[in-house]
Structure 1
Amino acid sequence: MDEIWTRPYSPGPGRWLIIAWEAAALGFLAWVAVREFELAGHSVRFVAGTLAAIWVIGAHRILQMGAYVGATGLRIHGLLRSRTMPWRDIAHVRLHKATHRVGPWQIESGLTVLIDRHDGSTVNTELWAQGIDFHSRPRLFRAVYQELRSRHQAAQNPS
């Protein structure tokens, strides 16, 4: 029987802005390609169709991005790939204060959720407190983090 995966939060409205932005960017790319290479007829339809297909696939992946929980594990859907980890392989679910170094400066970019595995590796999730899903919903970010920790603890200590 197939596992049922649920995302413990609703996606933020910012995803639709990103999808619209990508549509505009790909439309501009098509316009530039047609003008620059003086395309006509079937070539224009081919470029438009190819970029439309790329946009549809990308939009679908953007809408699916996130962390999904199931009875047996955690699934992380990213833009380019997805990975599934059984709860037994996860050592810790933790918050991480992300920073980026730009020259001599360190710029804080907010909290993210990281998964520490028993093999010593760390898995980055798509959960970012300042991201498109949680930027205006900080309580939801904390609730999702707590949900992941609760699910992990319940799987480690079955009754």
Structure 2
Amino acid sequence: MGSHWVRPYPPGTGRWLVIVWEAVALALLTWATIRQFDLIGHGVRAVAVVLAAVWVIGAWRIVQHGVYVSSEGVLIRGLLRSRILHWRDIAGVHLHQATHRVGRWELQRDTTVVIERHDGATVNTELWAQGVDFHARPKLFRAVYQEIRRRHLAARLLPEN
């Protein structure tokens, strides 16, 4: 069954800043590698091509990163992997207040969207209120959360085939 996956929000400007930041970091790594190993000719080209390819692949994954919905379910695209959760396997979609601890310190509390499966497991999404897509757009974060909940409810109301 083919699905038309749609990201229910436009990417934030922070995403593009991350891509530019990574380009600068890889350019500095390229320069440092060439200087450190006194590379010339083909060595310079090889390092530049490899790190440029890493940047292109990483930038593409950053652009595609996020949560998509369709009539089939939810597609979560992370930096390293993607997964599909079918609506029939989802028990609920909830907001979760996340706390990050490093040793004795409690860092940043933030609101994320969590999907609860029927088997009791929870799946973290790529949606968080202070993330690159929603940091300056809290109303959009709530609207996306409501859209995913609405689609989940609509899918539960449809008769099974």
Q: Same fold (TM over 0.5)?
A: yes
2-side partners of 1:28 and 1:104: how far apart? 34
Rate the CA distance shift 1:32–1:108 in 2: closer, same or farther, 3 A: closer
What is the aligned partner in structure 1 of residue 73 from structure 2? 73
Deviation at 1:107, TM superposition (A): 2.9
Residue by residue, what CA displacement relative to the aligned partner does 1:8-41 show, whole Å, maximum 9, x if unpaired? Answer: 0000011111000000000010111101111111
Corresponding pairs, count:
159
Corresponding residue for 2:104? 104
Distance 2:37 2:107 in 1: 42
Amino acid at match of 2:123: V
Cα distance, 1:125 vs structure 2? 0.7
Q: How far has the Cα of 1:110 moved from its partner?
A: 1.1
* AA matched with 2:147: E
Aligned-pair RMSD on alpha carbons?
1.1
Report the Cα distance in structure 2 between the residues aligned to 1:105 and 1:34, rounded to whole angstroms: 40
Alpha-carbon distance between aligned partners in 2 of 1:138 and 1:4, rounded to the nearest angstrom: 26
- Tell me how far apart the structure 1 counterparts of residues 50 and 120 of structure 2 sit (CA, whole Å): 41
* Unaligned ranges ≥5, structure 1: none
For 2:28 and 2:158, locate their aligned partners in 1 and report how far apart those are by CA, in whole Å.
54
Q: Deviations over 1:107-146 (max 9, x none)?
A: 3431000111112221111101000100000000000000
Is residue 131 of structure 2 the alignment partner of residue 131 of structure 1? Answer: yes
Structure 1 match to 2:31: 31
Name the counterpart of 1:16.
Answer: 16
Runs of 4+ in 1 over 2 A off after TM superposition: 102-109
Q: Distance in 2 between matches of 1:101 and 1:35?
A: 39
Tell me, in whole angstroms, the C-alpha distance in 1 between the residues paired with 2:42 and 2:150.
Answer: 55
2:119 corresponds in structure 1 to: 119
Counterparts of 1:155 and 1:114, CA distance in 2: 18
| Residue in 2 that maps onto 1:147 | 147
Identity fraction in percent: 63
The one-letter code sitting in structure 1 at the alignment partner of 2:41 is G
Aligned mates of 2:108, 2:26 — CA distance in 1: 31
Q: What SS is found at the alignment partner of 2:19? A: helix
Q: Would the aligned equivalents of 1:114 and 1:122 in 2 still touch at CA under 8 Å?
A: yes
Instruction: Quote the Cα distance in structure 1 between the aligned partners of 2:106 and 2:88.
Output: 35
Superposition TM-score, scaled by structure 1 size: 0.96
For residues 1-12 of structure 1, the aligned pairs below 5 Å read 2-12=2-12
CA distance in 1, matches of 2:4, 2:112: 25
